[in-house]
Structure 1
Amino acid sequence: MTERATGGEVEAYECYDAYLEGYAEVLAGICATGRRASREELAALRARGERAAEAGLGLRSLVRAHLGAARTVLAGLPRGEHDRLLAAVEQAVDAFAEGHERAQRLAMRQEEAARREFIDDLLYGRSDLGRLAQRAERFGLLLSHAHTVAVAQGPEPYADGYAVSRAVESSLLARFGSRRILLTTKDGRLICVAPGDQPDVLTFFAKQAYAATDGGRVAIGRPHSGAGGVVHSYEEALNALDIADRMGLDGPVLYAADLLVYPVLARDQQAMVDLVRTVLGPLRQARGGAGPLLETLTVYFDSGCVTTEAARRLSLSVRAVTYRLDRIHRLTGADPAEPTQRYTLQTAVIGARLFGWPDRDL
């Protein structure tokens, strides 16, 4: 072990010897001749900086080691060469630090690439599940457990490094610390993967995402176990966002468990199209077309079939709403007030909203 004493302090440089080899000789040669460091010498210093970064050595300690070696050279120099030494040390340390930082940036890019590849495989299930589970541990997930996925969609696309993404991530870390949570972005959306038995994490995530964008919407899938469970929950959250857009559903937070009826109804698309055409098709005969009457039915059902509440939401009188409901009854033959016929009408209305009827022909 090489020891150098300065001001009564003894510092050990054993682990840095490989990165300081020949450094003192280069400094002494520069001071003796007054030349600048050669291209080859600077390249060698950059290469050593890269190797030091790859070995996991911190730049601060390495710079101290270089300064310590320079002090040894300084002790044997005449006073007239001190300025030359300072200039040489500045060049040398700058080249070494450049190599160290270059290696760090490369490592960060490689790490981010590996993380992005893992996230793509995780959300699309494109990798061998056993290998995926092994890779997941590196990013803090135990895929043998159940996980739930929340997807936030805002007015503007999300991306890694954006202010909104950083703000939400900082809030989650401050609140939950080292819990096994994965926060990322995909296709312009912000995604949070959390253990299935910790719904408080996703509730907090939803609040933070909504507040950070001054709006937006968050959909939360159901918890599912295994490596494929994350994919399943992610797809449920995406489907919930799609259904909300098509149905015009209100509310900043959507739970896939609350929307299961919609994909069930839409599964047999041809049957649903026939129902919409048969039940609601006659509404096209109304003055002004089917739109106003379909909106009345939608608000009426969303209001729990309470006419006064529907009138308030539509900004109409109760009499006007009652007239529209009677008109719907006459045109379709189905009475919104009769339980069985009401169910048929409501199912048809759901189908119309899912398929964009009457704006879109079926």
Structure 2
Amino acid sequence: MTDSSRRRGGRRPSAPGPEDGWLVEVAEGASRDAGGVPVELLGDYLPLLADAAAYGRQVKRGELDAVGLLGRRAAEQGISAGRVVQLYLSAARRLWQDLPIVVRSRDREAVRAAATAVLQVVDEAVATLAEGYAVARRDLVRREEALRRELIDDLLRGDSDLGTLVERAEPFGLDLARVHQVALAAPSRRLPDAEAAISALEAVVFDRLGDRDVLVATKDGLLVVLAPADPAAAGRLSSAVDASNELGRLMHRELSRLPRGRPWRVAVGRGHPGLYGIARSYEEAREALAMAGRLDADTPVVNAHDLLIYRVLLRDQPAIVDLVQAVLSPLTQARGGAAPLLDTLDAYFATGTVATESAKRLHVSVRTVTYRLDRVKTLTGYDPADPAHRFTLQAAVLGAKVLNWPQEPLPNPG
């Protein structure tokens, strides 16, 4: 290559001509090296390398943009970034090995100049290729995230067309005929980095349950996990509860490792079959989450099954308000108010009506517990130790917890 040709910027056409059959061989060899990546993804890369070696020509902006588009195309075709980069590097290596056919010079400076020009093209082209690939992957992730969010919204709402949902759910590996359960995770404050939380949950849930019939997304500031429930466990209470506990503990353990969002609270709905079962499980998990916060539950993982009694009570709020008013309102006459007596009743029933265990839970003496129980009997006329009175008292205490009484006034029963 002469100095005058360098100054004039002389070059041959980028598109391979009949004399460029060797470039076709280089492309095919590079494709084999990269595991069969289509040679079309090389575009005009090889002619650009040959031009750089023979004429010292630099790559133009438009030519680099074309390489970036090829990177995007590779991502859209689902080809891994490593294989695409391998295609380009292998093409450069093979072309350099065949360069003596084109650059017939034994001059050391000429070879050094050619190598420098080729390496510069390789550097710029591979960087642009990777950038285009990354942009396409981000776009695909955003698109998938939007589709995932729309799908989870429709699944949890439960009123969408079943046929359409089946088609939309299939790419995510969901079989809507199976038994599913929904779990919700609430951070202590505003949801932290949602992508990090979703990635953390996906990694551990997929590892445990597989990547089919599992969907992780966000909704209304909560993390949502849709997971399969054991269909054989449907109707078998102990197995169903164990499965819910396992999913809840799994989620809480993984989320607690994140730097933000702690302490987390997780609520798990029961497993139900079909599309409408997903919406039902979601409603159960949402109610359980709200109820756990209302009751100030000290457990980080709650199951809808464990709070079924509260759902029953809330279905007829006027009746439960009337029960609390009729049975427990006399406790407000006690010194110190109704709260200490209610706490004692709650601990007494929770420990199987054992005064010594109630005293340990309340951090008071046994004598204090028995005194308070006597005060309840005197003020209300209901004896906590009498089985005939116990159910009424316990239902009223549960109702008071649901209504957050006496901290808040009772709602108007009318």
What TM-score, normalized by structure 2, do the two folds share? 0.76
Partner of 2:139: 106
> Which structure 2 residues correspond to residues 65-214 of structure 1 after superposition, within 5 A?
66-67=91-92, 70-71=95-96, 74-75=99-100, 76-77=102-103, 78=105, 79=111, 80-125=113-158, 127-155=160-188, 157=191, 160-162=194-196, 165-178=198-211, 180-197=213-230, 202-212=244-254, 213=256
Mapped partners of 1:28, 1:168: distance in 2: 49
Partner of 1:293: 341
Q: Structure 1 residues 29, 249: closer, same or farther in 2, change over 3 A?
A: closer
> In 2, are the aligned partners of 1:165 and 1:190 still within 8 Å (CA)?
yes
Mapped partners of 1:21, 1:217: distance in 2: 53
Q: CA deviation at 1:230?
A: 0.8
Identity of aligned pairs, percent? 45
1:4 aligns with 2:35: no
Which amino acid in 1 is paired with 2:121? Answer: A
> In 1, are the aligned partners of 2:58 and 2:121 still within 8 Å (CA)?
yes
RMSD: 3.1
Q: Structure 1 residues 242, 19: closer, same or farther in 2, change over 3 A?
A: closer
Range with greater deviation from structure 2 (19-28 or 80-89): 19-28
Mapped partners of 1:47, 1:11: distance in 2: 19
> Where in structure 1 are there 5+ consecutive unaligned residues?
none
What TM-score, normalized by structure 1, do the two folds share? 0.85
Q: Structure 1 residues 26, 349: closer, same or farther in 2, change over 3 A?
A: same
Q: Structure 1 residues 35, 123: closer, same or farther in 2, change over 3 A?
A: same
> In 1, are the aligned partners of 2:181 and 2:268 still within 8 Å (CA)?
yes
Mapped partners of 1:347, 1:326: distance in 2: 19
Q: Deviations over 1:117-176 (max 9, x none)?
A: 2122222235322211222222122111221223344546465433x6544443333344
- What count of residue pairs does the alignment treat as equivalent? 359
Partner of 2:40: 18
Mapped partners of 2:206, 2:152: distance in 1: 19
Mapped partners of 2:288, 2:213: distance in 1: 24
Q: CA deviation at 1:238?
A: 1.8
Residue 193 of structure 1 aligns to a residue whose secondary structure is strand
Mapped partners of 1:322, 1:309: distance in 2: 12
Partner of 1:43: 65
> In 2, are the aligned partners of 1:27 and 1:73 still within 8 Å (CA)?
no
Which amino acid in 2 is paired with 1:67? Answer: A
Mapped partners of 1:107, 1:193: distance in 2: 22
Residue 143 of structure 2 aligns to a residue whose secondary structure is helix
Which amino acid in 2 is paired with 1:4? Answer: E
Residue 94 of structure 1 aligns to a residue whose secondary structure is helix
Residue 260 of structure 1 aligns to a residue whose secondary structure is helix
Q: CA deviation at 1:31?
A: 4.7
Mapped partners of 1:210, 1:140: distance in 2: 24
> Which structure 2 residues correspond to residues 210-225 of structure 1 after superposition, within 5 A?
210-212=252-254, 213=256, 216-225=264-273
Q: Deviations over 1:234-287 (max 9, x none)?
A: 111221222233234454443323322211112111222222222222222221
Which amino acid in 1 is paired with 2:250? Answer: Q
Partner of 1:56: 78
Which amino acid in 2 is paired with 1:245? Answer: G
Which amino acid in 1 is paired with 2:249? Answer: K
> Where in structure 2 are there 5+ consecutive unaligned residues?
1-20, 106-110, 232-239, 258-262
